[in-house]
Amino acid sequence: MQDVCLGYGRKVVLKDINFRVMPGEMVGLIGPNGCGKSTIIRALSRIISPHSGKILLDGKDVSRVPRRDLARLLGVVPQMPLLPSVFTAFEVVLMGRNPHLGLFQYEGPRELAITWRAMEKTGTHSLAERRVSELSGGEIQSLLMARVLAQETKAILLDEPTANLDIGRQVEILDLIRDLCRENSLAVLAALHDLNLASQYCDRLVLINNGRIQAEGTPREVITPRNIKEVYGAEHCVYTHPINGLPTVLLKAGNSQSADMEERGA
Amino acid sequence: MSRHQPGSAFTNQAPPVHFPHWRGRVYAILGLLVALGVAMIFTTAVGSVQIPFSTTWQILLSKLPLVQVTPTWPGTLETIILEIRLPRVVLAGLVGGALSLAGATYQGLFRNPLADPYLIGVAQGAALGAVVGFLLPSPWHNMGFGIIPLLAFVGALISTAIVYTLARVGKTLPVTTLILAGVALGALLGSVVSYLIISSGEKMHGIIFWLMGSFSLSQWSEVKVVLPYVVVGVVVILLYARPLNVMQLDEEQAQQLGINVERLKLILLAAATLITAAAVSFVGTIGFVGIIIPHAVRLIWGPDHRFLLPLSVLSGAIFLILADVIARTVLAPMEIPIGVITALVGAPFFLYLLRRRRRIIF
Amino acid sequence: MKLKSLGVIIILAVLSLSIVTGCQPGFQPGTFTDDLGREISIDGIPQRIISLAPGNTEILFDLGLGDRVVGVTEFCNYPEAAIAKPKVGGFSTVDVERVVALEPDLILATSIHEAKVIPTLENVGLTVVALAPETLDGVLDNIILVGKITGRSQEASRLVAGLEERIKAITDKTESLPESQRPRVFYVLWHEPLMTVGSEARIHGLIVKAGGTNIAQDLTGDYPTISLEAVILANPQVIIAGSGHGSGEDSTFQFAKTEPILEDIDARRHDRVYEMDADLPSRPGSRIVDALEFFARFIHPELFPQI
Q: What is the CATH number of the domain that holds B160?
A: 1.10.3470.10
Asked if A50 reaches chain B (Cβ–Cβ under 8 Å), the answer is no
- How close C300 gets to chain B, by Cα (Å)? 30
The pLDDT tens digits of the residues spanning B325-351 come to: 988 888 767 788 888 889 888 778 767
Which of B133, B209, B221 minimises the CB distance to C93?
A: B209
A83 close to A92: Cβ distance less than 8 angstroms = yes
Task: Determine, for residues B334 and C124 on separate chains, whether the beta-carbon distance falls below 8 Å.
Answer: no
Chain C residues closer than 8 Å to B209 by CB: 92-93
Phi, psi of A43 (to 5 degrees): -65, -40
CA-based nearest residue in chain B for residue A69: B258
B275 close to B234: Cβ distance less than 8 angstroms = yes
**Containing structural domain, residue A135:** 3-249
The answer, yes or no, to whether B and A have at least 3 beta-carbon pairs within 8 Å is yes
A193 close to A159: Cβ distance less than 8 angstroms = no
Greatest mean pLDDT range, B3-12, B114-123, C66-75: C66-75
Interface confidence (ipTM) of the complex = 0.78
Asked if B139 reaches chain C (Cβ–Cβ under 8 Å), the answer is yes
Provide the pLDDT for residue B1.
Answer: 35
Which of C93, C123, C223 minimises the CB distance to B335?
A: C93
DSSP string, B64-128: STT------S-HHHHIIIIIIIHHHHHHHHHHHHHHHHHHHHHHHHHT-TT--TTTTSHHHHHHH
Greatest mean pLDDT range, A112-126, B169-183, C163-177: C163-177
Among C99, C127, C156, the domain boundary falls at C156
In a domain, A258, yes or no: no
Cα atoms found within 13 Å of the Cα of residue A189, Cβ hemisphere only: 28
- Range with the poorest average pLDDT among B51-55, C107-111, C144-148: B51-55
Asked if B55 reaches chain C (Cβ–Cβ under 8 Å), the answer is no
CA-based nearest residue in chain B for residue A182: B7
Task: Determine, for residues B332 and C98 on separate chains, whether the beta-carbon distance falls below 8 Å.
Answer: yes
For residues B55 and B66, give the distance between their C-alpha atoms in angstroms, rounded to a whole number.
18
pLDDT higher than threshold 80 for residue A14? no
Task: Determine, for residues B217 and C120 on separate chains, whether the beta-carbon distance falls below 8 Å.
Answer: yes
pLDDT higher than threshold 70 for residue B2? no
In a domain, A264, yes or no: no
Exposed / middle / buried, residue C197 (Cβ in 10 Å: 0-12, 13-18, 19+): buried
- Range with the poorest average pLDDT among B20-29, B133-142, B232-241, C136-145: B133-142
Provide the pLDDT for residue B287.
Answer: 82
Mutation site for C-interface testing, chosen from B44, B85, B151, B216 by largest number of C Cβ within 10 Å: B216
Chain C residues closer than 8 Å to B205 by CB: 91-92, 112
Which of B4, B17, B302 minimises the CB distance to A176?
A: B4
In a domain, C9, yes or no: no
SS3 label, residue C244 = strand
Task: Determine, for residues B205 and C116 on separate chains, whether the beta-carbon distance falls below 8 Å.
Answer: no
**Containing structural domain, residue B348:** 22-62+73-355
pLDDT higher than threshold 50 for residue A263? no
Indicate if C187 and C151 belong to the same structural domain: no
Provide the pLDDT for residue C30.
Answer: 83
In a domain, C242, yes or no: yes
Indicate if C131 and C236 belong to the same structural domain: no
The pLDDT tens digits of the residues spanning C287-305 come to: 999 999 999 999 998 888 8
For residues C105 and C22, give the distance between their C-alpha atoms in angstroms, rounded to a whole number.
14
Residues 99-138 of B with CB under 8 A from A: 111
Asked if B249 reaches chain A (Cβ–Cβ under 8 Å), the answer is yes
Chain B residues closer than 8 Å to A104 by CB: 239
Provide the pLDDT for residue A264.
Answer: 44
For residues A210 and A31, give the distance between their C-alpha atoms in angstroms, rounded to a whole number.
9
Chain A residues closer than 8 Å to B239 by CB: 103-104
Task: Determine, for residues B361 and A86 on separate chains, whether the beta-carbon distance falls below 8 Å.
Answer: yes
Chains that touch B (3 or more CB pairs under 8 A): A, C
- Give B91's pLDDT tier (boundaries 50, 70, 90): very high
Provide the pLDDT for residue B3.
Answer: 40
Provide the pLDDT for residue B271.
Answer: 92
Provide the pLDDT for residue A179.
Answer: 85
DSSP string, B178-228: HHHHHHHHHHHHHHHHHHHHHTTGGGHHHHHHHHT---TT--HHHHHHHHH
In a domain, A58, yes or no: yes
Indicate if C247 and C193 belong to the same structural domain: yes
Task: Determine, for residues B333 and C103 on separate chains, whether the beta-carbon distance falls below 8 Å.
Answer: no
pTM: 0.81
In a domain, C68, yes or no: yes
pLDDT higher than threshold 50 for residue B6? no
For residues B178 and B266, give the distance between their C-alpha atoms in angstroms, rounded to a whole number.
12
For residues B61 and B83, give the distance between their C-alpha atoms in angstroms, rounded to a whole number.
15
- Give C8's pLDDT tier (boundaries 50, 70, 90): low
The tally of domains found in chain B comes to 1
Which residue has better confidence, B293 or A138? B293
Indicate if C137 and C184 belong to the same structural domain: no
> Chain-wide mean pLDDT for chain A?
78
In a domain, A98, yes or no: yes
Provide the pLDDT for residue A1.
Answer: 43
Which residue has better confidence, B113 or B239? B239
- Give A214's pLDDT tier (boundaries 50, 70, 90): confident
In a domain, A95, yes or no: yes
- Give C96's pLDDT tier (boundaries 50, 70, 90): confident
The answer, yes or no, to whether C and A have at least 3 beta-carbon pairs within 8 Å is no
Chain A residues closer than 8 Å to B240 by CB: 103
DSSP string, A141-195: HHHHHHHHHHTT-SEEEEESTTTT--HHHHHHHHHHHHHHHHHTT-EEEEE-S-H
- Give A172's pLDDT tier (boundaries 50, 70, 90): confident
Indicate if C152 and C30 belong to the same structural domain: yes
Task: Determine, for residues C97 and B47 on separate chains, whether the beta-carbon distance falls below 8 Å.
Answer: yes
In a domain, A179, yes or no: yes
Question: For chains A and B, what is the number of CB pairs under 8 angstroms?
Answer: 117
CA-based nearest residue in chain B for residue A118: B10
Chains that touch A (3 or more CB pairs under 8 A): B
pLDDT higher than threshold 60 for residue A97? yes
Task: Determine, for residues B303 and A120 on separate chains, whether the beta-carbon distance falls below 8 Å.
Answer: no
Q: What percent of chain C has pLDDT over 70?
A: 90
DSSP assigned state of C180: G
SS3 label, residue A56 = strand
For residues A109 and A64, give the distance between their C-alpha atoms in angstroms, rounded to a whole number.
32
Which of A87, A96, A101 minimises the CB distance to B248?
A: A87
Q: At what angle do helices B338-355 and B305-329 cross, to 10 degrees?
A: 130
Query: What are the Cα distances from residue B299, in Å, to A119, B35, B294, B295, B362?
Result: 27, 19, 9, 6, 9
In a domain, B315, yes or no: yes
Task: Determine, for residues B259 and A67 on separate chains, whether the beta-carbon distance falls below 8 Å.
Answer: yes
**Which residues are bridge partners to B172 per DSSP?**
B169
For residues B60 and B57, give the distance between their C-alpha atoms in angstroms, rounded to a whole number.
5
CA-based nearest residue in chain A for residue B362: A86
Task: Determine, for residues C223 and B201 on separate chains, whether the beta-carbon distance falls below 8 Å.
Answer: yes
Asked if B304 reaches chain A (Cβ–Cβ under 8 Å), the answer is yes
Amino acid at B153: F
Task: Determine, for residues A78 and B253 on separate chains, whether the beta-carbon distance falls below 8 Å.
Answer: yes
In a domain, A265, yes or no: no
CA-based nearest residue in chain B for residue A109: B19
Mutation site for B-interface testing, chosen from A65, A69, A79, A98 by largest number of B Cβ within 10 Å: A98
pLDDT higher than threshold 50 for residue B142? yes
Mutation site for B-interface testing, chosen from C48, C116, C219 by largest number of B Cβ within 10 Å: C116
> Which helix or strand (DSSP H or E) is residue C56 part of?
helix C54-62
Asked if B330 reaches chain C (Cβ–Cβ under 8 Å), the answer is no
Chain C residues closer than 8 Å to B79 by CB: 100, 124-125
Mutation site for A-interface testing, chosen from B4, B8, B10, B362 by largest number of A Cβ within 10 Å: B4
For residues C256 and C273, give the distance between their C-alpha atoms in angstroms, rounded to a whole number.
7
The tally of domains found in chain A comes to 1
- Range with the poorest average pLDDT among A231-235, A261-265, C276-280: A261-265
Task: Determine, for residues B138 and C37 on separate chains, whether the beta-carbon distance falls below 8 Å.
Answer: yes
CATH number at residue A29: 3.40.50.300
Chain B residues closer than 8 Å to A96 by CB: 257
Indicate if C185 and C106 belong to the same structural domain: no
CA B172 distance to own-chain centroid: 27
Chain C residues closer than 8 Å to B77 by CB: 101
CATH number at residue C261: 3.40.50.1980
Which of B2, B252, B304 minimises the CB distance to A123?
A: B2
Query: What are the Cα distances from residue B362, in Å, to A195, B177, B180, B356?
Result: 39, 22, 22, 12
Provide the pLDDT for residue B360.
Answer: 53
Task: Determine, for residues B333 and C87 on separate chains, whether the beta-carbon distance falls below 8 Å.
Answer: yes
Provide the pLDDT for residue B230.
Answer: 92
DSSP string, A91-121: HHHHGGGGGGS-TT----HHHHHHHHHHHHH
Task: Determine, for residues B258 and A129 on separate chains, whether the beta-carbon distance falls below 8 Å.
Answer: no
**Which residues are bridge partners to C294 per DSSP?**
none
Asked if A97 reaches chain B (Cβ–Cβ under 8 Å), the answer is no
> Chain-wide mean pLDDT for chain C?
85
Indicate if C140 and C212 belong to the same structural domain: no
The tally of domains found in chain C comes to 2
**Containing structural domain, residue C129:** 25-156
DSSP assigned state of C113: G
| Residue C15: other Cβ atoms inside 10 A | 11
pLDDT higher than threshold 80 for residue C10? no
Asked if B1 reaches chain A (Cβ–Cβ under 8 Å), the answer is yes
